[in-house]
Structure 1
């Protein structure tokens, strides 16, 4: 990751740029980074993050300010599973989000108390990242993240059964 060969950015610098440090120490100031510069996160240490640029240069930054880039599924190997139509999962995500929003509105308006809010949201499971035409959708009932390019769903990652059993 420290050389231009095989550089794969994981984050970009915020739109207004950001300062750097030569060490994870507020007194060790460095040169500022240009806005929207692609960087790869090499290491995290609390709020500090060591980043590497495409030319191999590295520095420490405030990791809380980095903008994460979603990654496409790996191109190697066959997907674990493919589903032709993403619409059923999208409809389930919409229903969960609508229920959550209704409960937030009811709690904020004082129509329900916090315990009722927590009871109403206990079984809601939702995860979605949208980046232009790419989407990563979480189906916790099946324990899978799916990558969707509008035409089909492709399994991106699967949780093991023990992780799902611990949630229930």
Structure 2
């Protein structure tokens, strides 16, 4: 028997979402967790049939799924202003250290929940390392960059194309 690797096409929105056994509002099931990676298998109008990494399937309101990019930029893509990943890696390490310290204080009883939320509210970090590839979230420019060990290029941005940083 051959198994294929699970590759998500979407994630569940940050607040989670309701799910149904079939594309029928009368058949609800367990809601999906926030930011859960899923593969969209089929669309029927606004309904989306999704597969979760554990093999569980459900129907959701497909309009609310968040698409994830599938392939990094081609290696010959032009480099961006952030050609060296070290500064982004240093910022990610600093943000993670600040988050870790806040978690330690919360777990030790030195912070309450509201103080923890205030201390971590503006922290934005994202790092995915997969062999020689790295995806880093640049919170200053509000974009994801992809690196192959030699340079970085923009992978996705929070800005619409006409207002992206550095756009004419």
Structure-2-length-normalised TM-score: 0.55
- Are the aligned partners of 2:132 and 2:148 in contact in 1 as well (CA < 8 Å)? yes
Equivalent position SS for 1:83:
coil
Partner of 2:57: 61
Partner of 1:109: 108
Return closer, same or farther for 1:134/1:24 CA change in 2, 3 Å cut-off.
farther
Partner of 1:32: none
The equivalences for 1:125-140 within 5 A come to 125-140=124-139
Structure-1-length-normalised TM-score: 0.55
Q: CA deviation at 1:79?
A: 4.2
Structure-2 separation of matches of 1:95 and 1:116: 19
Partner of 2:50: 49
- Are the aligned partners of 1:127 and 1:138 in contact in 2 as well (CA < 8 Å)? yes
- Are the aligned partners of 2:73 and 2:146 in contact in 1 as well (CA < 8 Å)? no
Count of aligned pairs between the two proteins = 121
Return closer, same or farther for 1:144/1:11 CA change in 2, 3 Å cut-off.
closer
Is residue 2:116 matched to residue 1:120? no
Structure-2 separation of matches of 1:41 and 1:135: 28
The equivalences for 1:1-150 within 5 A come to 10-11=7-8, 41-43=41-43, 45=47, 48-49=49-50, 61=57, 71-75=70-74, 78-79=77-78, 81-150=80-149
- Are the aligned partners of 1:10 and 1:41 in contact in 2 as well (CA < 8 Å)? no
Which structure has the bigger radius of gyration?
Answer: 1
- Are the aligned partners of 2:125 and 2:137 in contact in 1 as well (CA < 8 Å)? yes
Q: CA deviation at 1:109?
A: 1.1
